[in-house]
Structure 1
Amino acid sequence: MWDTDRLMSRPISEICAEIDAFTPVDEEWLPLDDLIAEALDHSDASAAYPHLLNVFSRFPDDDGAGVFWSIIHGLETFPDYQPTLLAAIRAQPTDLSLTMVNRMLNGGETHVGDTPWLSVLQSVAENNAYSQTVRATASGFVDLHSA
């Protein structure tokens, strides 16, 4: 359990640095879950968005024993994370970042600013620079939402 006084006094930059440096020991992801919660509860949570999304890029073939879903669910509670998600996808798409786009499309959110989410998925699906797995994920979501 986090000490509430500590949460309010700890700079978001310190929390983000710990998220960036996190590596599981013996497949133990729960310390990251605590950092995610601390970042999302912070008054400057938006500063943590890129660091949280970068976790997907650092561990692209993992879901952190379910802990990464805390990032997805946590970010979905904020109204302003979508531009940061778009930037993360443009830098390095992952299955989980694309899953976040799929979830938005399922909820009727079709654009981030002037950019259609479907075109983002299409560009990932067509880009041979990305892994076959990521391209297949994007392609599957394109097919799902183009029908």
Structure 2
Amino acid sequence: MSRSLTGIAAELEALTPLDFDPMNVDADGPDRLQAICAELVERNDPERWTPLLYSLIERLDDADMGSPGPMVHSLETWSGYRPLLAESLRRKPTPLTLWMANRLLNTGPSDAPQWLELLRQAVGHSAASPVAQADARDFLEYQASRL
């Protein structure tokens, strides 16, 4: 029997930046995250678990949780992830969510102007870290060279 979503959410909440610190010999965050994401994908309710992953991405925005990593792969298994990605970018752009938006733009979506606008907004977003703001600038420059 699979765990409850509440139990999974608690495990995600327990993850800290130290769990992903490459200098921490006891860091097991990548392995734990991989296992959690595999468990989530097995469930048939992505509309319920997707917000948990975006919340973790926003909370641990400076941690290296993979590029793309298990969360991005898990999120992209559900066709409905894009509106929640846009909401996350509006709340708190992070290096990983900006990377996801750039990845999406690379596919030439019909709604590319919306995603470009989200990248523009991230450049000066008050909740975005300096790293995220720089990433947004770099992705905008890259996308401008493609269009």
Q: CA deviation at 1:67?
A: 8.3
Aligned-pair distance for 1:107? 1.2
Question: 2: CA distance between counterparts of 1:133 and 1:22?
Answer: 21
Q: Distance in 2 between matches of 1:110 and 1:31?
A: 36
TM-score (norm 1): 0.81
Identity %: 31
Give the conservation status (yes or no) of the 8 Å contact 1:12–1:45.
no
Aligned equivalents of 1:34, 1:122: Cα separation in 2: 34
Which runs of 5 or more structure 1 residues have no equivalent in the other structure?
A: 1-5
2:136 aligns to what? 138
- Across the aligned residues of Structure 1 and Structure 2, the Cα RMSD in angstroms comes to 2.2
Deviation at 1:129, TM superposition (A): 5.0
Deviations 1:57-99 (A, max 9, x none): 22222223x3871011121121101111111111111000100
Cα contact 2:34–2:70 (8 A) shared by 1:
yes
| TM-score normalised over the length of structure 2 | 0.81
CA contact (8 A) 2:89 2:98 kept: yes
How far apart, in 2, do the equivalents of 1:74 and 1:129 lie?
Answer: 25
Q: Could you list the runs of 5+ residues in structure 2 that have no partner in the other structure?
A: none
**Once the 2 structures are TM-superposed, how far is the Cα of residue 20 of structure 1 from its aligned partner?**
2.4
Q: 1:134 to 1:12 in 2, by over 3 A?
A: same
Where in structure 1 do 4 or more consecutive aligned residues deviate above 6 Å? none
Q: How many residues align?
A: 137
1:122 equivalent among 109, 113, 120: 120
